[in-house]
Structure 1
Amino acid sequence: MSAAPLAVFDRIISDRGSVYAVSGAPVASRAEIDARLAELKSARRFAKATHNSWAARLGGEGIKADDGESGAGAIILRMLESEGLDDHLVVVTRWYGGKHLGGDRFRHVIGAVRHYLAHRPT
């Protein structure tokens, strides 16, 4: 596994009861992505989240998972591609607050990824 720790930015966005966090780290393989996801979910709070949507680019190839938040993985992946950030995993976590957010949920995914890109350790 990479030496870089998993960077977690919790409770960065709140809207109508839903709360968002964003996490990420450099990764070198699919096995490392799985290990990083397991590391994140080892914290009970993240294991109980409604969605842990993620995307990564390994050697220029993108992989993603929505975890029930339809379209979120594709948004994260597009942002990684436009940033040119390879060999990196970004996870957007959402705890559902009881009210549907409609299209605002996509705005929040974008905002969470922007927060990560601006504040990630280099």
Structure 2
Amino acid sequence: MPAVHRPGPGRWSREADKIAWTDPATGLGCIIRRERNGGHLSGYVGVGPDHTLFGVEWQAIPASLDIEVHGGISYAAACDASGPEEISVCHVPRGTSPGSGGHIWWVGFECNHITDLVPDRTNGHL
């Protein structure tokens, strides 16, 4: 598995690089993933073709939708089926083929803001 954990000790040492699940209330795929640049965490939700946000670039998401998320939305793209499942922004449910995630549009946010714990940050916030 391609590791993205930051070197050295820290609270992140016991965390997984990626956790994926399906939200039981909405049926939407969810991912928490460690980013390679900075070692911080990011969160994603996958929406299907029938969802308002499907295919919408993150910069074009209408303010009228009044979506509030930590630091704002900073990602929107199709399933990254070419990347390694262990760290990609793609959630392939058990029992399905790896290519089946291609009809999901992932919308996400990053936790690398001024008050966030960012492993590569050396300004005393660790």
- More relative contact order, 1 or 2 (CA 8 Å, 6+ apart): 1
Higher strand share: 1
Higher helix share: 1
Same fold (TM over 0.5): no
Q: TM-score range by the shorter chain?
A: 0.3 to 0.5
Higher Rg:
2
- TM-score between the two structures when normalised by the length of structure 2: 0.35
- TM-score between the two structures when normalised by the length of structure 1: 0.35
